[in-house]
Structure 1
Amino acid sequence: MLQRLNILLAARPRTAEAWLARMARPDAGAHDQAALTAWLRADPDHLRQYEQAKADQAALEPLRSVFADDLATLRRSPRPSMTRRTLLAPGLAASAVAIAAVVVLPSMLKDQGRLYEAASGRITDIALEDGSRMTLDAGSAVRVALRDDARRATLERGAAYFEVAHNAARPFQVAVGDRRVIVTGTKFVTALTEDGAEVSLLQGRVAVGSRDATARDALANALILSPGERADFTPGKPGIRKTTADVDTATAWRKRRLVFQDAPLSVVLAAVARYSDHPLVLTDPALGRMRVTMVLPLEGEDAIEDRLTALLPIRMTPSPDGARRIVRAD
């Protein structure tokens, strides 16, 4: 028994959520309980973390039937091919508290729905029939299908802010790539970047989980986000990172400005391109790696270009095909 306990301790889970998953296994026994007890005694904060994880898992219980139905449908259906990276975001409510679950799954089946698009340079507010509201960043697109039993949306490109009307009987699902969020009512903002996707939570609670064959396992290791926290991930790759969200930066575009903190110039130009009628072309990859910190008011294409060239060591030159070529200033 001592040898078995030593093995368990050497390979023991490192988080409260992982311990919950282990103890929920059918083969969990006295050895596992002894290892858990040792972990709880190792740090005074471990008990608090474990109790919080149990409370969070209990709050997700209403989602299990929703996940079970969707997972059964996905297992019966062929996996659709992915042609682009997309994003997601949201929350869900177990009672008065809004909670959402982001689960790594094969791409949600594309329901027929309405495609909402924001034109280049135009931030667009949209009121949905269920009482929810979305704001699309310039050049963004979201497909929405509202049904009697569910509300589904897919962020196809760009960024979007959601205020989801509460309806526990009709969960609101937002999909991006191989992840999704189920929500009954909350506020959040999502964005696709060159590096992946991000979800910033303004109101409610979000549980970020990893893919598994069953609803129970899909939620067992959920990562809980609270307001002011952010999830970052790359579609098609494992792992979801939790960081502190800069909500003002994440939602700055809604106030017609872009905020960048130590961002590569390539990321800056990708964001600016949504407000330009002309493609922006970097001629030097090394120039794209230049780090940039700036606030960029969205006051029209010419004003944006003037501010960029005034603050950064770059020039924009027009080309015959209508693009703007970005070169290093002399």
Structure 2
Amino acid sequence: MNRAGAMTNEEAMAWVIRTRDPAFTDWDGFTVWLESDPANAEAYDVLMAADADLDAIIPPEPVAMPVPANDVGVPQRRPLRWIGGGAIAAALVAAVSVGMMNRADIYTVTTRPGETRSIALDDGTRIEVNGGTRLRLDRNDTRFAALDSGEAAFTVRHDAADPFRVTVGKAVFEDAGTVFNIVHTAGAVRIGVSEGEVIYNPGAEAISLPAGRGLTDDAQGLRVMDVAPAAVASWRQGRLVYANAAVSDISDDIGRSLGIALRTTPGARAMRFTGTIRLDRDPARFFAGAAPLMGLSAVRQGDTWLLKEGDGPQS
């Protein structure tokens, strides 16, 4: 483990011990730490997965000795069991052999490329999950979701006193009575809002995204743009709607929605497209219509399809 990883584990263990204490109140500070780096939440979840074993690992508090009558003050309680930190840390690490996210309250929803799911939360919120997606939810907090990868559409029941938040990498999206769609890939985060309003990073940039607005954060930076509300999460209606979108993003969307392996040539990736693409589960039929529409051609190469420049015949 590198130095950064060791430091993250040390911080996570400190937070595990603190949050287990009944007197703990610094939830705001804990939230800031969790959201500052995805690795923090992962390390904390791994340690908390062994929560049931901690009492057997960490020795109980010693009984306080009586204070002689002529002594001033009261005996000081040991701070949050953070005694013999090295030994306890070693015991914790040794005990945590289970995988990340095995906590009973946190669960993960995953879909294969081409598969979709619909999730109804107890608070009235509905989440529709597109293919190739990994989403984390909390049974004890229906106002939380973490989109680790893929795409999901959220129809949120608004509660001003308890806003729904979606963490996406280091970003946080907070609803204000909203229908929105988020895409999270290795290199980018995209959101489009069709109803209500979303706040991007309320504790930092606090960018307001009302209906008809979208945001992209990728290698080119952070950008806000107009979007057609009807185009947001259009994959649910079997179509993909774009306005000057990069073919690199479109190819990701196609692969996720249809469950096919898709590559693009550098020239094709750099092209842009405006229009509507109808989804079809038959790849040959789909590309026969979609590729020429984008000014491209599609070539089948075994189990993979290649999108390239030119609108020649499909094969």
TM exceeding 0.5: yes
- In the aligned structure 1, how far is the partner of 2:248 from the partner of 2:159? 40
Cα distance, 1:169 vs. partner? 5.6
State the alpha-carbon separation in 1 of the partners of residues 112 and 251 from structure 2: 17
| Distance of aligned partners of 1:297 and 1:194 in 2 relative to their CA distance in 1, 3 Å threshold | farther
Q: Deviations over 1:152-201 (max 9, x none)?
A: 21112222111223445654221001111234743222223576223223
What residue is the counterpart of 1:231 in the other structure? 215
Q: 1:176 aligns with which of 168, 183, 199?
A: 168
Residues of 1 paired with 2:245 and 2:227: CA distance?
15
TM-aligned CA distance change 1:267 to 1:232, over 3 Å: closer
* Higher RCO structure, 1 or 2 (CA under 8 Å, sep 6+): 1
Given that 1:204 and 1:227 are in contact with CA atoms closer than 8 Å, whether structure 2 keeps it comes out as: yes
1:187-202 alignment runs, 5 A limit: 187-192=179-184, 196-202=188-194
Cα contact 2:155–2:180 (8 A) shared by 1: yes
Larger C-alpha radius of gyration, 1 or 2? 2
Secondary structure, aligned partner of 1:121: coil
Counterpart position of 2:8: none
2:254 paired with 1:262: no
C-alpha spacing 1:183/1:146, structure 2 compared with 1 (3 Å): farther
TM-score relative to the length of structure 1 = 0.57
1:126 aligned residue (102, 109, 119):
119
Pair 1:301–1:272, CA change in 2 (3 A)? farther
Q: Which runs of 4+ in 1 moved over 6 A?
A: none
Counterpart of 2:132 in structure 1 is: 139
Contact 1:159 1:189 in 2 (8 A): yes
Per the TM alignment, residue 114 of structure 1 is displaced from its structure 2 partner at its CA by: 2.0
Pairing of 1:49-60 with structure 2 (within 5 A): none
Cα RMSD of the aligned pairs, angstroms, is 3.4
Alignment counterpart, residue 288 of structure 1, candidates 269, 278, 284: 269
Matches within 5 A, 1:209-224: 209=201, 218=203, 222-224=206-208
After TM superposition, give the deviation of residue 127 of structure 1 in Å: 1.1
Q: What displacement does 1:79 show? A: 4.3
CA distance in structure 2 between the aligned counterparts of 1:136 and 1:318, rounded to whole angstroms: 28
SS of the residue corresponding to residue 158 of structure 1 reads strand
The structural deviation recorded for 1:144 is 0.8
Q: Select 1:299's aligned residue among 280, 294, 299.
A: 280
- Counterpart for residue 232 of structure 2: 250
Question: Structure 1 vs Structure 2: percent identity of aligned residues?
Answer: 24
Report if the CA contact (8 A) 2:197-2:208 is conserved: yes
In structure 1, what is the equivalent of residue 304 of structure 2? Answer: 323
Displacement, 1:300?
A: 1.6
In structure 2, distance between residues paired with 1:199 and 1:76? 22
Q: Where does the alignment leave 5 or more consecutive residues of structure 1 unmatched?
A: 1-67, 83-108, 211-217
Distance 1:199 1:70, change over 3 A: farther
2:151 to 156, 159, 175: 159
Task: Say whether the 8 Å CA contact 1:127–1:134 is kept in structure 2.
Answer: yes
TM-score after normalising by structure 2: 0.59
Paired positions, count:
224
Does the 8 Å contact 2:180/2:233 carry over to 1? no
